[in-house]
Amino acid sequence: MLFNADIDDANEKQKVCHHTLRHSFVSNAVLHNDIFLVQKLMNHRDINQILRYAKVNEDKKAAAVAKMF
């Protein structure tokens, strides 16, 4: 991939593949959108596929608690 042009073999973990891009997209989309919408955008039949990427953001947790009170 073009992203990997300047990365040498010693820095293999820094390389980007299509899975990296999908992971970044889904992780960001889940932070800002309904998880079921993201599921449809990614064309996943099973919500568990999306949940793999969904990390709980500490700021989002605090905002959710603040919203309740």
Report pLDDT digits (tens) over 3-17.
555 555 655 666 677
Model confidence at 62: pLDDT above 90: no
Query: Where along the chain do its domains lie?
Result: 2-68
User: What pLDDT, on the 0 to 100 scale, is given for residue 45?
Assistant: 93
Rounded Cα–Cα distance for residues 15 and 5 (Å): 9
Model confidence at 60: pLDDT above 60: yes
User: What pLDDT, on the 0 to 100 scale, is given for residue 7?
Assistant: 54
Single out the residue of 52, 21, 58, 56 nearest to residue 39, CA to CA: 52
